[in-house]
Chains A and B, each alone.
Chain A
């Protein structure tokens, strides 16, 4: 077996991170840069009148104040699904924090002071849409002007952006012995990357633009800016340094266009770094209200599943309708179900536009689905592990019609989880246990290119457009090259994050990079091997077919074995040079499919935990937490564990303590780190165990699937079930705070 694949060599980019030398966007020094500060209002909805920039312009050091009057007319709009988001708000602000103007100054202090002095005449508007109920109410004001919606869209005069219907079988006539019909809610939470978003733009070569952004999808940003500024892609250069955490919140363009307008107008680089509070106004996860009616046979097997899901997506669509559709398509989970009916609505609201967030809607659905299963298990007197084993799809089973079949031995992950939590063993008084299964689909289309260069001295450069935001992409890419070409890891440099230097990569999302970019790199290596074989064959005057390149070595017909890095110098000959390999993985998808394509793979991930509840105060402590993922192959087990446990801790956040709180006018009350709580070191469960099921059954190199999102798909229902087990009370709304538990105990 390899000592690289499946080993845990140190993170590529690790030394830079521990020495403090890694430059995130906000650390890069730009000569002659202007500092930008957004001008926003302290309400969610307001009609905008005149904007008086004079007081701001008087502040020493202020160079410009940009208002809609300084931007093209009509206002440029952008968005990955719908070009709805204006560069600056016009007419009306749609959410708390939507920028109405921006200041550019010589120092951040001057910009901040001036931004506070810009006088925006505005009239706060009543009756904003901040809840699912308000969004569904036909008398509520419209969030998006119908003229911006797609032509002929019958929903355009409502706040329902889209309605997705999926299903099979016949739920109406299905006969069940037992029905569980409940409503579950999932709060608004935010990504809270420790690096706030940062954007820099500068006039580029030949009238183009050069941008630095903490963005996860540099090529999508490049395309968006090309469209807004009517520039060819070749004149838009995006630098995407490794982000300090993304979690989906840095996937799609946000303020790059605004900063670029400023840079072009002032003919200087312009820099905007958000405050932590501003990130709450910029990105979040879709909150949800899910009504789930499941029908079961007496033995616990599922007969039907009926979902009515409402995702509150925010003021602009961003990628949130995709989140709604994609996650709800698999709402029924990894189970065998003869009858399913899903109606899922993406609802607009006067709140921070939601975007992708780790799990892409699956955590919300998992909360509802797994909680429903647990309730059925209790009411039918069936063990919660058993009820899942009964229903779990088997390998290769078509658990959703016309979809990728179950691509793993999922039962193995579930049994391993049960084993690690000691399922069934007696528990001390006051403690409870829960177990749950999460499912998410990987990408449904994809495209990644890679170029690998094997240099004359046997070292290698790898070019990949993936974003390494902590999941360790650079490392596994280097591992693949090390494995395939025999180049030592410390002689490989991975180049990422620059659209001018690396070939196209569609995006870094859906845990896709190990498979899509992994395969692209793998194939680039195979191309190198083929070329190398040909060169060696020529040198030895034999047929190319008789030269073998494998296991990092070249084997010639006479039996001599030479490691590749040594063989190349001779192979290249007198003139030297290099061998260049290009690889591509293209996953075309299927336009006739409801999601545009079948899942490339699934992330199936199980969670189990043991909790202790203080019955007087409601305080809850997670004593032990287990997370097991069906990963195909863990190329770097330590990195996988870090991602899985990290995701679990993030999951404990939305389970136990995270929620964005709005006042009646839609203002976010708890922006920032004080009143929005994420877990600290001291909140991590005493015992955390993670494991991976590796059956090499994934579509990536060495059988890898995708990881990084699985760890938080089943956290909430596992904890919820454990709380019920410990106390008898059932919570259907997150977060499960001590107050919620106390309230439920009191009402019992």
Chain B
């Protein structure tokens, strides 16, 4: 019998089992999947609704030095969470611009990652924050950094039957700040022309001890320009240092022309947005002081 079937398991193990079948697709918010299905772009044999699984229920928790965001947590939950607002403002900024309120009430952080759109807003932030994901699958449980998860255009490193159970972001050690910037043509409901996540942690002397940069819409997947990050380490923050990191990040980007913008423009915007995001992250690190 052909066509799409629907299952709503109430146990994680059952979900893993169902997802192991060919043509099975996980489903939580549906803000990517249902669009693709309505427009005939994808026709799964089975849609596995994850929303009845207790381990995945919306939850943001501090645990073992991480902030853990469960798979079914939606963008509006993230936007409104006091600790996330305080410690990872960039994630709030990114969550806030995903679609509309109607979308954000349904779209999950895990889904945004699993969909692996190169223009997605949250992955550059999660990359910059050194986030990792917890995965459950037929082979058991494992952990993977976000920038390893995103392999290629709409392709993740998840194997058959694997699903993201949580996103884990390490709590900063020391004064830290982050920022997210998005460039587009209109102010809402926008797929970015370029988007940037940046994060800094400062040492006792005010120098940068760790820096993270994530770039969106400049490659087939969200990327981490490590050479640009390397520019920052050990340096004292300044507009010049940020501009230098920005320039290196620009060199590492090779964006294409597409419907939304030309590659040349995008490439020229990377240094500007990286510089500005780093600056904002630094301002926030100074505001926060030590935790």
Whether the pair A683, B259 counts as a contact (CB closer than 8 A) is no
User: A682 touches which one: B40, B188, B269 (CB < 8 A)?
Assistant: B188
Q: Is the interface of A mostly helix, strand, loop or mixed?
A: loop
Q: A617-B272, A742-B265 are in contact. Are A670 and B259 (CB under 8 A)?
A: yes
Residues of A within 8 A of B188 (CB): 680-683
B residues in contact with A681, CB < 8 Å: 188
Bin chain A's interface residue count.
20 to 34
Contact A675–B260 (Cβ < 8 Å): yes
Kindly identify which residue among A656, A670, A680, A746 contacts B189, using a CB–CB cutoff of 8 Å: A680
Specify which chain A residues have a CB less than 8 angstroms from the CB of B185 in the assembled complex: 656-657, 677, 737-738
Q: From residue B226, how far is it (CB to closest CB) to chain A in Å? A: 25
* Assembled-state Cα–Cα distance A516/B187 (Å): 41
Does B95 make an interface contact (CB < 8 A)? no
Q: Is B262 an interface residue (CB 8 A)?
A: yes
Chain B nearest Cβ from A362, distance in angstroms: 25
Name B108-148 residues within 8 Å CB distance of A: none
Q: Is the CB of B183 within 8 A of A619?
A: yes
A746 proximity list for chain B (CB < 8 A): 268
Residues of A within 8 Å of B63, CB to CB, are none
Contact B262–A669 (Cβ < 8 Å): no
Contact A683 B186 (CB under 8 A): yes
Pick the residue among B186, B261, B273 that contacts A679 (CB under 8 A): B186
In the assembled complex, which residues on chain A have CB atoms less than 8 Å from the CB atom of B190? 677
Q: Is B195 in contact with chain A by the CB < 8 A criterion? A: no
Interface status of A18 (Cβ within 8 A of chain B): no
User: In the complex, which residues of chain A have a beta carbon less than 8 angstroms from the beta carbon of B273?
Assistant: 617
For A739, the chain B residues whose CB sits under 8 A away are: 193, 261-262, 265
Q: How far is the CA of A682 from the CA of B40 in the complex (A)?
A: 31
Binary contact readout A367-393 vs B (1 if CB under 8 angstroms, 0 otherwise): 000000000000000000000000000
Shortest CB distance A257–B (Å):
28
Partner of B268, one of A656, A657, A670, A742: A742
- A233 contacts partner chain B, Cβ-Cβ < 8 Å: no
Give the residues in chain A near B186, CB-CB below 8 Å: 656-657, 677, 679-680, 682-683
Whole-angstrom distance between the Cβ of A620 and the nearest chain B Cβ: 10
Residues of B within 8 A of A616 (CB): 272
Residue of B nearest to A657 (CB): B185
The answer to whether A669 and B259 touch (CB under 8 A), given A677-B186, A679-B186, is yes
B183 touches A617 (CB 8 A): yes
CB distance from B186 to the nearest CB of A (A): 5
* Distance, CA A116 to CA B40, complexed state (A): 10
Bound state CA distance, A116 and B39, in angstroms?
12
B191 at the interface (CB under 8 A from A): yes
A674 contacts the other chain (CB 8 A)? yes
A-B contact count (CB 8 A): 47
| Closest beta carbon of chain A to B88's beta carbon, Å | 24
Name the residue in A617, A656, A677, A738 with the highest tally of chain B Cβ atoms < 10 Å from its Cβ.
A617
Which residues 259-291 in B have Cβ within 8 Å of A in the complex? 259-262, 265, 268-269, 272-273
Chain A residues within 8 Å of B265, by CB: 739, 742-743
Note all chain A residues with C-beta closer than 8 A to B269.
617, 742
Answer whether residue A556 sits at the interface, using C-beta atoms and an 8 A cutoff.
no
| Chain B residues whose CB sits within 8 angstroms of the CB of A743 once the complex forms | 265
Min CB gap A649→B, angstroms: 12
**Interface 0/1 of A400-438, CB less than 8 Å to B:** 000000000000000000000000000000000000000
- Give min CB distance, A739 to chain B, whole Å: 4
Q: A657-B185, A681-B188, A738-B183 are in contact. Are A675 and B259 (CB under 8 A)?
A: yes
**Nearest residue in B to A678 (C-beta to C-beta)?**
B186
Q: Which B residues, 13 to 32, have Cβ-Cβ distances below 8 Å to chain A? A: none
Contact with B along A709-748 (1 / 0, CB 8 A): 0000000000000000000000000000111001100100
Can you name the residue of chain B whose Cβ is closest to the Cβ of A275? B39
In the bound complex, how far is the Cα of B103 from the Cα of A680, in angstroms?
15
A33 sits at the interface (CB 8 A): no
A683→B188 CA distance, assembly (Å): 8
Docked Cα-Cα span, A683 to B190, in Å, equals: 11
A683 adjacent to B183 (CB under 8 Å): no
Asked whether any CB of chain B lies closer than 8 Å to the CB of A59, the reply is no
| Proximity string of chain A (98-135) to chain B, C-beta cutoff 8 Å, 1 when within and 0 when not | 00000000000000000010000000000000000000
A656 to B187, CA, bound (A): 12
Q: When the two chains form the complex, which single residue of A661, A682, A742 contacts B187, counting CB atoms closer than 8 Å?
A: A682
Judge whether B259 and A680 touch: CB under 8 Å: no
| Interchain CA distance A55-B261 in the complex, whole Å | 41
A680–B262 Cα distance when bound, in Å, is 24
Q: Which residue of A lies closest to B275 (CB)?
A: A616
B191-A674 in contact (CB<8A):
yes
User: What residues of A have a CB within 8 angstroms of the CB of B268 in the complex?
Assistant: 742, 746
CB 8 Å contact bits of B186-230 with A (1 = contact, 0 = none): 111111010000000000000000000000000000000000000
* Complex Cα gap A739–B258 (Å): 13
A contact residues around B260 at 8 Å (CB): 675
Give the nearest-CB partner of A684 in chain B.
B187
Q: Report the Cα distance A363→B168, complex, angstroms.
A: 53
B189 and chain A: residue at smallest CB distance: A680
Residue on B with the closest CB to A743? B265
Fill in one digit per residue for A206-219: 1 if any B CB lies within 8 Å of its CB, else 0. Answer: 00000000000000
> With A and B bound together, what is the CA distance between A116 and B41 in angstroms?
13
State A738–B193 Cα separation when bound (angstroms): 10
Question: In the assembled complex, which residues on chain B have CB atoms less than 8 Å from the CB atom of A669?
Answer: 259
Cβ of B261: which chain A residues have Cβ within 8 Å of it? 739
B272 closest partner in A (C-beta): A616
Shortest C-beta distance, B183 to chain A (Å), equals 6
Question: Which A residues are CB-close (under 8 A) to B262?
Answer: 739
Cα distance A78–B133 in the bound complex, in angstroms: 60
Contact at A680–B187, with CB atoms within 8 Å? yes
Chain B proximity of A315: nearest CB distance (Å): 23
Residue of A nearest to B190 (CB): A677
- In the bound assembly, the distance between CA atoms of A675 and B191 in angstroms comes to 8
Nearest residue (CB) in A for B260 is A675
Smallest CB separation, A190 vs chain B (Å): 15
The smallest C-beta distance from B204 to any residue of chain A, in angstroms, reads 34
CB-nearest residue of chain A to B194: A617
CB distance from B182 to the nearest CB of A (A): 11
Contact partners of B187 in chain A: CB under 8 A? 680, 682-683
Interface centre among A656, A738, A743, A746 (most CB of B within 10 A): A738
Chain A: which residue is nearest B100 at the CB level?
A: A680
Smallest CB separation, B36 vs chain A (Å): 12
Q: Give the complex CA separation of A743 and B185 in angstroms.
A: 15
Residues of A512-560 whose CB lies within 8 A of B: none
- Chain A residues positioned under 8 Å from B40 (CB to CB): 116
Closest A residue to B35 by beta carbon equals A674
A281 CB to closest chain B CB (Å) equals 15
Chain A residues closer than 8 Å to B191, beta-carbon distance: 674-675
Which chain A residue has the least Cβ–Cβ distance from B191?
Answer: A674
Q: How many Å lie between the Cα of A677 and that of B183 in the bound state?
A: 14
**Chain A residues whose C-beta falls within 8 Å of the C-beta of B259 in the assembled complex:** 661, 669-670, 675
Bound complex: CA of A287 vs CA of B250, how far in Å? 36
- Report the Cα distance A465→B268, complex, angstroms: 56
Complex CA–CA separation, A47 to B193 (angstroms): 38
1/0 per residue, CB under 8 A from B, across A447-477: the answer is 0000000000000000000000000000000
Within the complex, what minimum Cβ distance (angstroms) separates B9 from chain A? Answer: 27
Q: How far is the CA of A675 from the CA of B119 in the complex (A)?
A: 13
Report the Cα distance A669→B257, complex, angstroms: 14
> What mask results when residues 239 to 279 of chain A are scored 1 for a CB within 8 Å of chain B, else 0?
00000000000000000000000000000000000000000
Task: A742-B268, A743-B265 are known; give 17 further A-B pairs, CB within 8 A.
Answer: A616-B272, A617-B269, A617-B272, A656-B185, A656-B186, A674-B191, A675-B260, A677-B190, A680-B187, A680-B188, A680-B189, A682-B186, A682-B188, A739-B193, A739-B262, A742-B265, A742-B269
CB-defined A-B contacts under 8 Å, sample of 19: A116-B40, A617-B269, A617-B272, A656-B185, A657-B185, A661-B259, A675-B260, A677-B190, A679-B186, A680-B186, A682-B186, A682-B187, A683-B188, A739-B261, A739-B262, A739-B265, A742-B268, A743-B265, A746-B268
Nearest first, the 8 closest Cβ-Cβ pairs linking A and B are: A682-B187, A682-B188, A680-B188, A739-B265, A657-B185, A616-B272, A683-B186, A677-B186
